[in-house]
Copies of this chain bind each other. A is one copy, B any other.
Amino acid sequence: MSTNNSNTRRQVRLGLFIQGAGHHVAGWRHPDAQAGSENLALMQRITQTAERAKFDMVFLADGLTSGPDAHPSMAMRLEPLCLLSALAMGTRHIGLAATASTTYSEPYHVARAFASLDHLSSGRAAWNVVTTSYDRTAANFTRGNHPDHALRYEMAGEFVDVVKGLWDSWDDDAVLKDKARGVYFDPAKVHTLDHKGQFFAVKGPLNASRPPQGHPVVIQAGSSGPGQDLAARTAEVVFTAQQTIEEAQVFYRDLKGRLPKFGREGQQLHVMPGVFPVIGRTEQEAKDKYAQLQEWTDTSGALSLLSDRLGHDVSKYPLDGPLPELPESDQLKSRAKLLTDLARRENLTLRELYYLVAGARGHRIVWGTPVQVADALEEWFTGEAADGFNIMPPYFPGGLDDFVELVVPELQRRGLFRTEYSGTTLRDHLGLQRPVSRYAGR
């Protein structure tokens, strides 16, 4: 497959969802797992592995709470911008996507940090915009209460606009460094945003020249109505959790259908569902691997974790009984709905639902031989249920090594995935245009 080919034919996008302790709740207990939410050497190794396999990007989720009852991967996490700045040093091509909250940060700080990461990585930064679901976050930030879902999304919309405006503060050709004339930059090419909105007043300019990508790539994961509208208006990649191809196709069509009303086209936004792969040389080996992971799972905290995910306390219900009727949760709307729909459809007990959450947190589990896994990905890709996938290995580094050594070559053989990078920035990898500054031509 030539470089030209990869420019003309639609290809699968691959992200690696990094979670130091592994995506399976018990993944860190695997004998080969190098457990470590704060293990830099592990993060370096898996990022370099993903780059060797020509992944589009690595991705870091985030949260702003912890506690004695938190899962290892949530209880402690290296700050994503710091970690990705470090990982940028050992890599040259792979995109670097970090999560930052629009509810608990400031547009100036966020714009600046991602501009810096984009400079440090020569154009590989992406910002995963989240509004932060967990209401207990407010208690860590001197806030009386956590804004409700609708309000958070209104704030997020304005926040993203301000950040994009700040990224345009400096024209691409503003910095001259003309030693002879003593002109470091052209002051006429520095712009003051002067934003005064409903939630934010931000004057600018940003203290960072225009990022190499113009704007770092914007990612979102909200699946609610307001989340989808925000994504359709502002995002270039959408992460999502989908269980069946039918659901995924509906989501894909719905989201892409929202683009025209914002003057955008389908290829300007990539839909990338999460995939939790369990790979064996035979189907039985994959099954056994999955069973082994489930065996290591400690069910003592099951109902607490499940309550957390559902946004409702289910701890007084029997573990082997059905999911009780629950009022709709405000704070975790789309995520909770996904789980309750799944439980109803598959007629799952609370224990079975917990095992699914423990494994892939509501994401699609794909298991089997490399050919079976590649088939499963190809079906969704060609069936317009996905433009690519956010890969969630059960444990690290072995779970990723399996995917990279066994499944990626199979996708490449089918011409579905690149064998070499054709550009240097994340926008290059994703086939996304570099945004023109709002001040261009003025």
Contact = CB atoms under 8 A, between A and B. Distances in A.
Contacts of A208: 38, 66, 76-79
B184 A21 contact: yes
Interface stretch (A103-111, A404-412, A433-441): A103-111
A72 interface: yes
Contact of A140 (B77, B79, B202): B202
A81 B81 contact: yes
Interface string A21-43: 10000101111010110101000
B29 A182 contact: yes
A425 to B, nearest CB: 16
A388 B170 CA distance: 39
A150 interface: no
B89 A207 contact: no
A185 B142 contact: no
A40 B139 contact: no
Given A28-B179, A109-B105, A184-B35, A190 B68 contact: yes
A282 B84 CA distance: 46
B28 A120 contact: no
Contacts of A117: 82
B112 A79 contact: yes
A108 B141 contact: yes
A83 B83 contact: no
A120 B29 contact: no
Contacts of A86: 85-86, 88-89, 120
A2 B136 CA distance: 53
Nearest to A115: B79
The residue in A66, A77, A192, A201 that gathers the most chain B C-beta atoms within 10 A of its C-beta is: A66
A317 interface: no
A173 interface: no
Given A105-B109, A113-B82, A66 B201 contact: no
Interface string A341-374: 0000000000000000000000000000000000
Contacts of A28: 177, 179, 184
The residue in A200, A204, A208, A209 that gathers the most chain B C-beta atoms within 10 A of its C-beta is: A208
A192 B298 CA distance: 25
A291 interface: no
Interface in A63-109: 63-70, 72, 74-79, 81-83, 85-86, 88-90, 104-106, 108-109
Interface residues of A, number: 76
A430 interface: no
A169 interface: yes
A206 to B, nearest CB: 6
B90 A207 contact: no
A104 to B, nearest CB: 7
Contacts of A139: 201-203
A137 to B, nearest CB: 9
A119 interface: yes
A263 interface: no
Nearest to A208: B76
A206 B140 CA distance: 9
A378 B324 CA distance: 76
A205 interface: yes
Contacts of A192: 67
A40 B74 CA distance: 32
Contacts of A29: 179, 182
Given A63-B207, A68-B188, 13 more contacts: A31-B179, A35-B179, A68-B205, A75-B190, A78-B120, A78-B208, A79-B81, A79-B112, A85-B86, A86-B89, A104-B106, A106-B142, A109-B109
26 contacts: A26-B182, A30-B179, A33-B179, A38-B119, A38-B208, A40-B119, A63-B207, A64-B207, A65-B207, A66-B169, A67-B190, A67-B192, A68-B190, A74-B207, A76-B170, A76-B175, A77-B208, A78-B208, A79-B81, A79-B113, A79-B116, A82-B113, A83-B85, A83-B120, A85-B86, A106-B141
Closest CB pairs A-B (n = 4): A68-B187, A66-B207, A139-B203, A89-B89
